[in-house]
Amino acid sequence: MLFNSSEFIFLFLPATLLGFFLIASIAHARASVLWLVAASLIYYGWWNPAYLILVGGSMLFNYTLGQNIVLLNRQDRHARAKGLAIAGIVVNLLLIGYFKYANFFVDTVSTVTGVEWTIGEVILPIAISFFTFQQIAYLVDALRGEAGDYDFLDYALFVLFFPQLIAGPIVHHKEMMPQFAAAHTFRPSWQNLTVGFTIFVFGLFKKVVLADNLALYATPVFDAADAGDEVPMLSAWLGTFAYSFQVYFDFSGYSDMAIGAARMFGVRLPLNFNSPYKATGIIDFWRRWHMTLSRFLQRYVYIALGGNRHGRVRRYVNLMITMLVGGLWHGAGWSFVLWGGLHGLFLIINHGWRAIIGPPSQNPLAVWAARVLTLFAIVITFVPFRAVTWDGAVIMYGAMVSLPDFGALPPALDDAAAWILAAVAICWFLPNTQQIMARVEPAYRYGMQALEKEGLPWLLRVMSAAFWVPSPRWALATAVMFMLAVMSLNRISEFLYFQF
């Protein structure tokens, strides 16, 4: 059941909302939490009910282990607690390793050794990367004494809460548990409903109107490359740019829809996307793109490896290892390793440049030059991210450095260029969703103060009307976007991050 499907928008979401608040009003908050857990299980099991055994087993295992770790720490049996935490992390990694990487490992060994070795097809359960990383963080925090005695029902909701279950954000227990326990969460609020619905509509529009239309120009180019066909230089560049903005609006749209759906229930999810194509360097990019994954990798991989505490060379090695892990998290294939490695290399270059030149310049010309260079670097890395085959990525890179052929250009290239220019204008010159909604604190710990710290974009400086307020004007704008999006639901496509 996709966020951009009629059954979710017109049936599942309103029915779950109605049941949640109705049960809370006539029964007890705990019954309402149970309802939301049951609804989330239905949502997850929609794709394949057999996956419920996996997510249920994972949840029971990690909760039991985490509570025992908390208890052992209180008894000053720290060595025992550490042993349990390590065992739990290993089991979680083995679980995700089998389902996500077993075929990749076997295929790689077979290729290197020349010995045919097969284990049969292993079907990747949806969202396994997200709920596994979320629970690994819980175990580590339990060992560090940063997790409390949680009720199992609240823990189940923390893991299963359907707005963030399938493709993030990767939430932290400290962010979610207090909200699930707050009394006001169980009382319907017109502000929460209108704010949540507006954010949800923004995301739906990004997905079905922007991302899915850009896919029309990206998919044929990459399909041709993966099939071994020759790709002209201009087609390669336009196809790669089209995909780069497709994944941008696809992921930004999903993040908005997740935050919006959660807000209708009175829950604020953390930001996961903050105009990453406005970044002026790869360091800045990873502070804006998949922010909760970046947070997880920094805290539980980079810092665990030593971070920047052991000299510059060790710091760069840790950066590269962290980004290779991030690449493999996205997919079991050497193309994803290459994608992570490229970002690791660019991060090292960016850090090295700052060590020599100093902090980023605030000169407008320098800022825009850095922004353009960063965007081109990001676009280049998306070739292996999108190409299905290694040969397809090689063909695309070869085409991008070949001489242009201006003879008999297909009309689709003009359309692709128009869509890409429109996408660039939206990304660079318009405020993002949370900036527009800043007055009503759209996400966890994001409001006007956070907006002031990051600097008001020029549009918000000169146009106070850019801020959302409950008004007929904004109601009309939201209704128009919603109708345009609903009219595009006849060509439903999965969100790109569902495959991870």
- State the Cα angle at 366 between 354 and 234, rounded to 5°: 100
Torsion angle, CA of 441/442/447/450, rounded to 10 degrees? 160
Q: How far is CA 98 from the centre of its chain?
A: 22
Distance CA(70)–CA(141), nearest Å, equals 9
Q: How far is CA 480 from the centre of its chain?
A: 27
Q: Scanning the structure block, which residue is given the tokens 């071994």?
A: 228
Of the residues 172, 173, 330, 343, which is catalytic? 330
What's 437-453 look like in SS3? CHHHCCECCECHHHHHH
Distance CA(412)–CA(415), nearest Å, equals 5
CB 442 within 8 A of CB 195: yes
Neighbours of 390 (CB within 10 A): 14
List phi, psi (to 5°) of 48.
Answer: -160, 110
Distance CA(60)–CA(279), nearest Å, equals 40
Q: Scanning the structure block, which residue is given the tokens 């599942």?
A: 12
Distances (CA, A) of 372 to 209, 282, 362, 425, 426: 25, 12, 15, 13, 15
Those residues with Cβ within 8 angstroms of residue 274's Cβ, 6 or more apart along the chain or in another chain: 287, 288, 291, 432, 434, 454
- What is the residue type of 492? I
Q: How many CA atoms lie within 13 A of 466 on its CB side?
A: 18
Q: How many CA atoms lie within 13 A of 486 on its CB side?
A: 12
- Please give the full DSSP string across 111-164, using - where no structure is assigned: HHH------------TTHHHHHHHHHHHHHHHHTT------HHHHHHHHH-HHH
Those residues with Cβ within 8 angstroms of residue 329's Cβ, 6 or more apart along the chain or in another chain: 129, 133, 293, 500
330 catalytically annotated:
yes
Beta-ladder partners of 273 = 289
Residue 487 burial (10 A CB sphere; 0-12, 13-18, 19+):
exposed
Catalytic residues: 330
